[in-house]
Amino acid sequence: MELTGSILVLTGAFFLFSAGLGLLRMPDTFTRIQAGTKASTLGNILVLAGLGFYHPDWALKLLVVAYFVLMTNPLSSHALSRAAHAIRTPMAPSTMVDALREEGDRQGNGDVS
């Protein structure tokens, strides 16, 4: 039981580590946002689940925290990337498609989302 929990915590910590690495190494703002958010959400939930194996009586509160992170973290990163897109943050040269900007141009103004 404890071994399962600690392996889950270790996996989660690895994902948190990779989130930090992605945040440092990715080429532009948008890729950093997606690396930092996705990996850290998964890592956080795995750590909380692993601790739930250690303390079954804490499970409900840990579940609430995990649900909260799962709900809020994508929202905040969505708001951030929307703001970054609105103020025309430069993208990496390898970016091919900007569907949101094309949609805005088709509708006549640059501010649709």
Partner 1 sequence: MKAASSLLAVLLFGAVFAGIVGGYGERESVSALAEQYLAMVPRELGAPNVVTGILITYRGFDTLGEVAVLFMVAAGVGVLLGGKDTTTASEPGREPRRPSELVGNGAEITLPLIFLFGAYVIKNGHLSAGGGFQGGAVVASGTMLLMLALPATKLNHGFLGVTESLAGVVYVGIGILGLVFAAGFLDSHILPLGEFGTLISAGAIPVISALLGVKVGAELSVIIDRFRN
Partner 2 sequence: MADMLLQIAGVLIFFAIVFGVARLVIGRTAIDRVVAIDMLTVVSIALIALYAHLSGRFVYIDVALVYGLLSFLAVLAIARFLEKGP
What are the residues binding partner 1 (CB under 8 A)? 64, 67-68, 71-72, 74-75, 78-79, 82, 86, 111, 113
Q: Is 73 in the site for partner 2 (CB under 8 A)?
A: yes
Is residue 41 within 8 Å of residue 69, measured between CB atoms?
yes
Q: Is the dihedral of CA 39, 64, 74, 20 positive or negative?
A: negative
* Distance of alpha carbon 55 from alpha carbon 53, whole angstroms: 6
Q: Is 82 in the site for partner 2 (CB under 8 A)?
A: yes
Q: Which does 94 bind (CB under 5 to 8 A by kind): partner 1, partner 2, none?
A: none
* Distance of alpha carbon 109 from alpha carbon 2, whole angstroms: 57
* Distance of alpha carbon 17 from alpha carbon 62, whole angstroms: 21
Q: Is the dihedral of CA 23, 28, 31, 33 positive or negative?
A: positive
Single-letter amino acid code for the residue at 71: M
Q: Which does 110 bind (CB under 5 to 8 A by kind): partner 1, partner 2, none?
A: none
Q: Which does 92 bind (CB under 5 to 8 A by kind): partner 1, partner 2, none?
A: none
Q: Binding residues for partner 2, per CB under 8 A?
A: 2-3, 5-7, 9-10, 12-14, 16-17, 19-21, 23-24, 29, 32-33, 36-37, 40-41, 43-44, 47-48, 51, 54-55, 58, 61-62, 64-65, 68-69, 72-73, 75-77, 79-80, 82-84, 86-87, 89
